[in-house]
Amino acid sequence: MNNSKTKIFGVIGHPIEHSLSPVMHSAVFKEKKINADYFAFDVDEKNLCNAIHGADALKFCGLNVTIPHKISVLKYINKISEEAKLINAVNTIKFDYVENLIIGYNTDGTGAIKAIEKNLNRGLKGKKIFIFGAGGAARAIIFSALQNNAEISIYNRTTEKAILIGNEIKKRLNKDVKIVENFNLKDELNDSDIIINATSVGMFPNVDKSVISKEYIPEGKVVMDIVYNPIETKFLKLAKQKNCKVIDGVDMLVYQGAESLKIWLNLQVDENLIGIMRKAVVEKLIRN
């Protein structure tokens, strides 16, 4: 039951009606008997500043930030984590009322890395990761993977965007990434350990699309998709047929949520709790 001590959390975005975060976090609060609640807020760009400062004034504990505000919200943050600075986007805000700070974090990349590590049963050091995409989601995964000393190859429909990320990485981290083009696509895929679709290809309603055709998917790799609707994308279906170990977008979503909970509440999220979060998300996806 809510009372004056209830900790308030939420997600801001636009549109927000299909957000899975409220059911995911509410399941944790219920399981752990934490006096907290989590709401979805539809916030227009013009109201973003008021929304952040309003949440601060109302003593919210934390917010998630989603499309289209992950970059524009940077203007209203007064402290930023190293990772969010590198990714240049914030998906988690913590309101610190002791230091009077609005602190921005990014848990998207870490969430993806944790999901992979759980499935690999080991760290990413020295692993070769092949990423399709050069948008916001790809950026988050690329920078977090580099922080974990993985090797990165990037393929994007628009090669120039991949090159821009590569140049930025060289400048800011002094690391090299491979930019993949059509002529070396197959070789680079064969040479990688983990293949990730970080594009929106295959997302509902375009469920018959895969970022690559079956003959390009090598046998026995670890394959991940950031798309969670449908839970099993065409790309993952094809990867299974090639005996790959697949990680779906729900896992990435759940692990980024778990990272947010660590930041807000110092909560250690074990695999049992991860399972509860996943179940809540899957049930909501099936109901929708």
Bridge partner list, 96: 101
Residue 20 CB, nearest distance to ligand ATR (Å)? 15
CB nearer to ligand ATR: pick between 131 and 247: 131
SS3 letters for the chain?
CCCCCCEEEEEEECCCCCCCHHHHHHHHHHHCCCCEEEEEEECCHHHHHHHHHHHHHCCCCEEEECCCCCCHHHHHCCEECHHHHHHCCCCEEEEECCCCEEEEECCHHHHHHHHHHHHHCCCCCCCEEEEECCCHHHHHHHHHHHHCCCEEEEECCCHHHHHHHHHHHHHHHCCCCEECCHHHHHHHHHCCCEEEECCCCCCCCCCCCCCCCHHHCCCCCEEEECCCCCCCCHHHHHHHHCCCEEECHHHHHHHHHHHHHHHHHCCCCCHHHHHHHHHHHHHHHHHC
| Residue of 70, 114, 127, 234 marked catalytic | 70
CB nearer to ligand ATR: pick between 29 and 64: 64
Which residue has tokens 């848990």?
107
CB nearer to ligand ATR: pick between 199 and 256: 199
- Residue at shortest CB range from ligand ATR: 135
CB nearer to ligand ATR: pick between 201 and 258: 201
CA terminus-to-terminus distance, the chain: 26
- 242 as an active site residue: the answer is no
Residue 163 CB, nearest distance to ligand ATR (Å)? 11
CB nearer to ligand ATR: pick between 93 and 134: 134
Residue 261 CB, nearest distance to ligand ATR (Å)? 22
d(CA 197, CA 246): 11
Q: Which residues bind ligand ATR (CB under 6 A)?
A: 133-138, 156-158, 161, 199-201
Residue 70 CB, nearest distance to ligand ATR (Å)? 8
Residue 209 CB, nearest distance to ligand ATR (Å)? 7
Residue 157 CB, nearest distance to ligand ATR (Å)? 3
CB nearer to ligand ATR: pick between 34 and 207: 207
User: Catalytic residue numbers?
Assistant: 70
